[in-house]
Amino acid sequence: MKRFIIAIILLSVTLASSIGFHIITNKKINEFILLMEKDRIITVADTASDKSRTQAISEMWGKHEVYLGCVLTHHELENLETGLMCLENYMLQGNTEEYIKTLNECLNQLYHIRGTEKVDIKNIF
């Protein structure tokens, strides 16, 4: 009977932590997407990137990089990280077209990550 109770407790802890990690990961990705979408809308409207918005994106990446690197696979974050490094360079160079293009690529990568993290039958099999 003790083994059965211990097994139930371990299963409960595993399920609770899995659900918790899933919720936290989605929250962080959604925050990142919202910030980048806001920057994209403003950059397209103004036809110029802004240093403060680019720094906000970099700071948010700095906050979430370790967690996302631990939870997600490396190949999912590789293109995103490269694109985020390029954003600052494009902003400093005043290359708005490349900035928006890279921002869109980063957003598409985040949408893909969010889609693959969704609890769905097609992601399981």
Tokens of 34: 């919202």
Tokens of 123: 């992601």
In percent, the amount of the chain with pLDDT more than 70 equals: 98
- Per-residue pLDDT for 35 more than 90? yes
- pLDDT, one tens digit per residue, over 88-113 is 999 999 899 999 999 999 999 999 99
The stretches of the chain forming alpha helices (DSSP H) are 2-46, 51-71, 74-93, 96-117, 121-124
For the chain, the C-alpha Rg in angstroms (whole number) is 18
What is the reported pLDDT for 108? Answer: 94
What is the reported pLDDT for 118? Answer: 79
Chain mean pLDDT for the chain = 90
Q: Taking the model in full, what pTM does it have? A: 0.84
Q: Which residue has the higher pLDDT, 123 or 70?
A: 70
Tokens of 109: 């990568």
- pLDDT, one tens digit per residue, over 11-20 is 999 999 989 9
Cβ-contact 102, 90 below 8 angstroms: yes
The CA angle 49-86-94, to the nearest 5 degrees, is: 35
